[in-house]
Each structure stands twice: as structure tokens, then as C-alpha cells.
Amino acid sequence: MKLRIVFMGTPEFSVPALEVIHQRHSVVGVYTQPDRPLGRGLGVQSSAVKRKAIECGLPIFQPNRLADPGEFEKLSLLKADAIVVVAYGQILKKNLLTSPRLGSINIHSSLLPRWRGAAPIQWALLSGDIKTGVTTMRLVEKLDAGEILLQQEMILSNEDTAQTIHDRLAQMGADLILPTLEGLQDGTLEGIPQDESQVTYAHKLTKEMEWLNPEWSAEVLERRVRALNPWPGTSILVGQRLKIKKVKAHLDIQGRKGEIFQKAGMILLGTSQGSLELIGMQWDGKKEVDVSSFINGLRGRGQELPFQVSYPKNLS
């Protein structure tokens, strides 16, 4: 039986779930964040979810605040069997969460109770987790604390970045949402309470996190480069900002801490443990370059390796 679904989501991560729900059920309303102005007078930009909803011919709602008076009544008129929330960007109050007969379901990009919060993909990488995954859960007022419905895990590789994990988990979440809805509909799926003793929090990323500190090990720095790609990115100071796009840790090569040097055809940054090979780099305002282009650029400016990097002293 087709269910009446209200879908709430905003970024690209939400789109695969909207697509599969639209193919199987009746999406009676799509809620997404209001259009945002672009910089330098270039107009406004619609969310990825809004663009997909337009393509599918679905009704769109973009309230500034879902908690505003009258928004609950508008949503109630849609007579949804369930609300599905995927990275919507607004908090739902209890009256909204409990209004559909099957409740409100969230797709979360971690294996709850690990990594509740704003940046679970990035913190899984930053912390050296060997696996992550997606969870469908009942939404409650407390952040990411609802009962677990279904989960699917993935093993993390040394090549994964936040972007590659994002793309895989987006599709995994889409794959989980249909069996979640069907299990709730036929009464075969019951929620499992989260173990509060196992909770960890994925705090919001900040721009200040971009700086790579040679006091950390090469292994930690490599994870940081992969975790903070594409935002906020990672950089070092060498007179000016040098953005670091791709790296590889070499625990068997020990250079002088904080010094960029050459060895065996590689450009390396010495760290507290091992050295970090710099594979993809980009000066502020310039294009990304590989090792040979970087060296040629230095020679063109009359510079040569080794040289010392600095680190903003007010950051840690």
C-alpha cells in the first residue's frame, strides 16, 4: 500500500532518499530550507532537494521557521502517514514529530549511538574509526536520541574522504528507508533504545580546524586532510596559505618537525611522528598543482626546499 509521506531535507545528501520514496510512495509535501542569496549579487540558490522536487513535480514548502504559528496546521492538512527527515536543518517540535500515524523517521549518517550531532561523517574519520554507516531512527525532541530502527555499516578505507563517504552513505540511507517504512507499516519493525553509555558527539566543524599542526603525527594529519575535504579544507602557512588537498602518511620517514623537504622524489612535511607526503597542493588564489609543478613554481620564484612552516599560535 502506498503511504502518504511528507519529506523534509535540504542538501544533496537528502536527494537519493527523496527519489526512492517518490518512486514507491506518495510524497504529499517536500519541506526544504528557503532559497539562499549567492555572493556578489548573483541571485539566489535553491536547495538540492528543492531542485529535485521541482523535477518530480512535487509540492514544495519553504517556511523560515517550522515552529511558527500556522505551520503545524498547514502540515496537518497534508494528512501524512509518516514524516521522513534527512538533513533538513530545522528542529521539529513534539506536536509535529508525533502527528503522523507512523511517526517521524530520520536518516542519520552514523551508527548510532556513536556520533550524534552535526558532523558524524567527519568525526568518524578524524577519530580513526574503522567503520561507519547509516541509521534510520524515530525522531524525538532530544538530538539524535530516538529508537534505532535499521542500520547498515560500511568499512572505511585509507582512501576515503568525507566526500566519498557522504556519497556512499547517501545511497545507503536511501536503500534503508523503504524497508523502514514498510516495517513500520506492517508492524514487523520495532525500535531499539540507544545505549546512552556509548554516546559520542560529532560537534560542528569550524573554519579554524583547517590548520595542520606539525606537532601532530603524520597519521593524524592524513586523517584530518581526508576528513575536512571539501570543507573547511586543510592548510599550512609557508609565508602564505598553502592548501593541502591530498597526502599520504609515511611513518618510516622522520624529518625535522615542521619542515617541508624533499626525499626520494617526494615532498614531505616533518611531523612529531613520521612525515606527511604532500601530493596535491594549492596556493591561495591559484590552481591545484602536483609535486613537479609545485617544485617548478618554487624555482620560478627563486625559492627552494627545505623551508619551515608556521602555525597560527592562537589555534590548537
Q: Which helix (H) or strand (E) holds 230?
A: none
Q: What is the pLDDT of residue 40?
A: 67
Would you give per-residue pLDDT tens digits along the chain (316 residues)?
899 999 999 999 999 999 999 999 999 999 999 998 876 667 789 999 999 999 999 999 999 999 888 999 999 999 999 999 999 999 899 999 999 999 999 999 999 999 999 999 999 999 999 999 999 999 999 999 999 999 999 999 999 999 999 999 999 999 999 999 999 999 999 999 999 999 999 999 999 999 999 999 999 999 999 999 889 999 999 888 999 999 999 999 999 999 999 999 999 999 999 999 999 999 988 999 999 999 998 888 888 899 999 877 655 4
* 261-286 pLDDT per residue, tens: 999 999 999 999 999 999 999 998 89
Q: Where in the chain is the domain with CATH 3.40.50.170?
A: 4-202
Q: What is the pLDDT of residue 315?
A: 55
Rg (CA), the chain: 23
Q: What is the pLDDT of residue 41?
A: 66
Predicted structure pTM score: 0.93
* Contact in structure between 292 and 270 (CB atoms under 8 Å): no
Q: Where in the chain is the domain with CATH 3.10.25.10?
A: 207-308
Those residues with Cβ within 8 angstroms of residue 109's Cβ, 6 or more apart along the chain or in another chain: 13, 120, 121, 132, 134, 166, 169, 173
* 199-226 pLDDT per residue, tens: 999 999 999 999 999 999 999 999 999 9
The CATH number of 207-308 is 3.10.25.10
The CATH number of 4-202 is 3.40.50.170
Q: What is the pLDDT of residue 300?
A: 86
Query: Given the C-alpha cell 597560527, which residue does it identify?
Result: 312
Q: What is the pLDDT of residue 60?
A: 98
Rounded-to-integer distance, Cα 313 and Cα 295, Å: 28
Characterize the bridge pairing of strands 116-117 and 104-108.
Answer: unpaired
Q: DSSP code of 211?
A: B
